[in-house]
Structure 1
Amino acid sequence: MVRILVFALIVLALGSGFAWLADRPGELSLVWQGQRADMSLMVAATLLVSFLAAVMLAWWIVRVVLTSPHSIQRYFRARKRDRGYQALSTGLIAAGAGDASLARKMNARARGLIRADQEPLIHLLEAQAALIEGRHDEARQTFERMADDPETRELGLRGLYLEARRLGANEAARQYAERAAEKAPHLPWAAEAALEYRSQAGDWDDALRLVDQTRSTTSTDKAANDRRKAVLLTARAGGRLEADPRGARDDATHALKLSENFVPAGLIAAKAYLRENNLRKAASLLEQLWKGQPHPEVAKLYVRARNGDSASERLKRAEKLEGLRPNNVEALIAVSEAALEARNFHLARDKAEAAARLSPREGIFLLLADIEDAETGDQGRIRHWMNQALKSPRDPAWTSDGIVASEWMPVSPVTGKLDAFEWRAPVSQLDGPVEEGSANPAEEAIRTLPPIAVTAAKAEAASQPVAEKVQTIHIEPAQKAEKKTSDKTAEDKKQAGSIGEEKPFFGGLPDDPGVKGEVRKEAASAFRLF
């Protein structure tokens, strides 16, 4: 386009010049070696332009003749290179498609048309063809040559890394990943692999250094980098909690700044505060964490934050958590467990049933079974809640790659992936579709709860007159010691009056056949302790 424009400008200038001369006619006389030549100015200008054009044409012809051998050679070289690149492209496509024979054929043709030191892709095609045919040793040797070349170093290291992973040589794979991350930290695969290996080895300082190094070179967004750094800081804080609570607290609080409401970091920070006897800051941090994400481990640590608290005091702390997040399943469970420890069975049952209505799951029904066992001891009702627990979904836990852990871990023990554990319900079985209009399992369980079984002793006591019931009434634990003392005094007096008379037996084992004769009659009229 530029050449056409320049040519048009030259033609326009010549035309304008000739037009200007035509409007101003004149004569031109030239005397040279006794000869005189007279001509018009227009003819002289025409001869001058023609002479210049002839000189330029002659120079072009001479130049073409002189440079023709090189031009011909360059033409054939370019044609050969084009054919080589065409073969290389076809071979790479064949290697990607899995056609080993065509890839090998195109590799040989490309090597004959292009020099390997000028085009590194020939090494890649050779390695890919060897991998397809199963010649892994040759492919590995090719990748090693590529790793030694600065132009193909990253490609060769990646090939060696993948081969080491395939063979299970984790240490070799780690060396290749570390080498690639050192030479080219902007490579995502190298940074990820090196980070995983350092995390598996527990080298948190080097892992954090690598994250800071790759923060500005990789294309990963800021949120993902902050989350990754928060996980590493939390892992380091967990390892330093016992020996260095202050350092663990600093790491955990820094992790909370990077990833808000990260429960493992908040728990470690609160434990560090508690080890420093700073209950106020620990409670404030746990309350803030609870507001963002109610978690059972947060509730457990908050309720039992202070050693020596009574059960009623722990119940008050659990109720405070419920006030922060009302109508929440985890808050209801925390209050129910604290109420059970405080022997407030009515409150424990109400909160547990409310939690079951919101989220019927295994742990809540087991809690109801514990409440039933502590309050009534009715085996039928206990088995009812246990049966509901067997049919209900499992409680949320720290899970990763099919593994359920008792506590959070920074790295998956199966794949070695960083930040793989999630707080969710483990997948135990495929749940069937829920029918529309079906009743809540908790409501159904509460509705079908069997009544408290009436024992034979209770039935006998109910049929006795009031005067006799006084003798068979159930004695509360606080009155048992006093009753036993009076019984012992009576027995001593009886033994002093009649030495030969047998002493009645009380409080035998459930399967004790008892005593015979007159002793059994005497025991029937005595107070029943059990």
Structure 2
Amino acid sequence: MTTLRVLIWFAVAAVTMLGAVWLAERPGTVTAEWHGWRLDSSVGVLLVALIVLIGLCIGGWLLYRWIVGAPFALLEGWGESRKKRGYRALTQGLAAVAAGDGAEAQKYAKKAEQLLAEPPITLLLSAQAAQLAGDRDGANRAFTAMLEDEHTAFLGLRGLIGQALREGDQAKALAYAERAFRLKPQTPWVVHSLFDMQAQTGQWKAAQETLETGQRRKVVTADKGRTLKALLLVERSRAAERDGNAADALTLAREAFALAPERIAVTQHFAGLQIKAGDGKRAQKTLERGWALAPHPDLAMLYLEASGENDPLKRIGVIRRLVAHNENDIESQLALAQASLEANLWGEARRHLEIAGGTSPPVRVCRLMAEVEERSGAEQAKVHDWLARAADAPADRAWRCGACAAQHETWRSVCESCGAFGTLQWRAPGTFGHVLPPETRAELEFAGNDKK
């Protein structure tokens, strides 16, 4: 760049020199007369005078512009300094918010508002500072004011959703979430928040539409979406059943089972409707498929109901058909033990409980063992021993929330503790014992046969 400028200056100097030489070789005079005045001059002097005159005119024009524009320049410089101080206050306020200093954040927020004529920028800081200081009304005012600008409306809605939830106003939070969803349906937190709120208020169909939108926009994974949709269909099926629409209830339950047969609640609901419809055979097929994926005591009870068998000894055979689809699970051994206990086959019940308990029997196994000993007429010491072991035994499987770990007596789609949807799983908090290996199981079976 420097070399190019040097070359340009050399070119200008060369042209000037050539012009001067050309004029020197061609001398001449210029005469001007005006109202009796006469001016004689050479061409060179006239050109120099003309250049000087042009220079003076340019200088005068620049001086005039400077004098006229000076006040505006001073104001602009002062405004620029004011903006810099405003942004500095904004930065310090955000730092105070990050540090959790509410009073300091509010001080800088007010300063930034005074210095900056850009409310959208300062409103967020004002809202966060008010939240830190516990000023709910101030935070609400700031978040509401943010709705007036299209660039900050979404952030304002998020703040208002949080404020409404803290105040316990779920209806208002839901309305804000719906508005945020219309603005940006591809944002993960919007989809999840709206879905949870719709589910918590029992708006199952609306929640399903939100879920499907989330799946289309890749906000919800295909596997999670499949499971959640199945649970929503179960709730819609229950609602249809309550309204007396058995056909729709069965259709929705069938669709849910096709999506997620591994969910116990889905299998249980579908099989229950099939039994009510008088289709016990299909209900058994449904339960067998569900048991193979996720056994549960309630499924075993439904299977017995679907079979229509009342004879205690024959009911053992019914349960054997069911557990054959997942015989190594602890629930299979417990189901056989319970059926044997009801048929007064103490040795058989004890054998299945020993297999189920393994090296560390959980509470349910210990209590069933105590019941076996008591009903078989064994010494009370054995009964007390098993009850004492139950006090220190590993916890049983139960309906526990995967989000907050809260325990529930029965399955429900929405956790009563944290409000999460579809998070209840049939599981133990830790180990629940181990199913014995085949060789050990064979030894126990041989011992059981000897006792008989």
Regarding TM over 0.5, the answer is yes
- Equivalent pairs, count: 404
C-alpha distance in 2, partners of 1:165/1:183?
A: 20
Structure 1 counterpart of 2:321: 320
Structure 1 counterpart of 2:140: 140
C-alpha distance in 2, partners of 1:145/1:348?
A: 70
Structure 2 counterpart of 1:502: none
The one-character-per-residue Cα deviations of 1:397-430 (angstroms, maximum 9, x if unpaired) are 1134565433210011222221232222369xxx
Structure 2 counterpart of 1:192: 192
Contact 2:261 2:289 in 1 (8 A): no
Contact 2:281 2:306 in 1 (8 A): no
Structure 2 counterpart of 1:345: 346
C-alpha distance in 1, partners of 2:221/2:348?
A: 48
Structure 2 counterpart of 1:231: 231
The one-character-per-residue Cα deviations of 1:310-343 (angstroms, maximum 9, x if unpaired) are 3233211222234333333211111122222333
* TM value normalised by structure 2: 0.73
Structure 1 counterpart of 2:202: 202
Structure 1 residues 72, 286: CA separation in 2 closer, same or farther (over 3 Å shift)? same
Structure 1 residues 122, 374: CA separation in 2 closer, same or farther (over 3 Å shift)? same
- Is the partner of 2:216 in helix, strand or coil? coil
C-alpha distance in 1, partners of 2:362/2:97?
A: 53
Contact 1:241 1:272 in 2 (8 A): no
C-alpha distance in 1, partners of 2:59/2:221?
A: 59
Structure 1 residues 100, 358: CA separation in 2 closer, same or farther (over 3 Å shift)? closer
Which structure's CA Rg is the greater one? 1
C-alpha distance in 2, partners of 1:218/1:381?
A: 58
Structure 1 residues 120, 368: CA separation in 2 closer, same or farther (over 3 Å shift)? same
Identity percentage of aligned residues: 28
Task: State the AA in 2 paired with 1:324.
Answer: H
Higher relative contact order (CA 8 A, sep 6+): 2
Structure 1 counterpart of 2:411: 408
Any stretches of 5+ residues in structure 2 without a counterpart? 12-20, 29-53, 433-442
The one-character-per-residue Cα deviations of 1:351-374 (angstroms, maximum 9, x if unpaired) are 122212255012122222333333
C-alpha distance in 1, partners of 2:58/2:314?
A: 108
The Cα shift of 1:176 comes to: 2.9
Structure 1 counterpart of 2:154: 154
Contact 1:83 1:113 in 2 (8 A): yes
Which one of the candidate residues 104, 111, 114 is aligned to 1:112?
A: 114
Task: State the AA in 2 paired with 1:215.
Answer: Q
Any stretches of 5+ residues in structure 1 without a counterpart? 17-27, 36-54, 432-442, 452-530
Structure 1 residues 14, 195: CA separation in 2 closer, same or farther (over 3 Å shift)? same
C-alpha distance in 2, partners of 1:15/1:278?
A: 104
The Cα shift of 1:264 comes to: 1.0
Structure 1 counterpart of 2:170: 170
C-alpha distance in 2, partners of 1:103/1:392?
A: 53
Task: State the AA in 2 paired with 1:301.
Answer: L
The Cα shift of 1:308 comes to: 3.8
Contact 1:100 1:133 in 2 (8 A): yes
Structure 1 residues 220, 89: CA separation in 2 closer, same or farther (over 3 Å shift)? farther
C-alpha distance in 2, partners of 1:273/1:11?
A: 95
Structure 2 counterpart of 1:493: none
Task: State the AA in 1 paired with 2:355.
Answer: A
The Cα shift of 1:167 comes to: 2.9
C-alpha distance in 1, partners of 2:59/2:208?
A: 67
Contact 1:188 1:218 in 2 (8 A): no
1:183-332 aligned at under 5 Å gives the runs: 183-217=183-217, 219-241=219-241, 243-259=244-260, 261-332=262-333
* TM value normalised by structure 1: 0.63
The Cα shift of 1:78 comes to: 4.0
Structure 1 residues 323, 138: CA separation in 2 closer, same or farther (over 3 Å shift)? closer
- Is the partner of 1:155 in helix, strand or coil? helix
The Cα shift of 1:213 comes to: 2.8
C-alpha distance in 1, partners of 2:59/2:212?
A: 62
Kindly report the root-mean-square deviation, in angstroms, between the aligned alpha carbons of the 2 structures: 4.4
Contact 1:329 1:358 in 2 (8 A): no
Contact 2:292 2:325 in 1 (8 A): yes
C-alpha distance in 2, partners of 1:13/1:257?
A: 82
The one-character-per-residue Cα deviations of 1:230-275 (angstroms, maximum 9, x if unpaired) are 3322222334346344433433343344445111112212222223
Contact 1:241 1:268 in 2 (8 A): no
Structure 1 residues 152, 270: CA separation in 2 closer, same or farther (over 3 Å shift)? same
C-alpha distance in 2, partners of 1:373/1:221?
A: 51
- Is the partner of 1:412 in helix, strand or coil? coil
Task: State the AA in 1 paired with 2:412.
Answer: M
Contact 2:106 2:129 in 1 (8 A): yes
Contact 1:248 1:268 in 2 (8 A): no
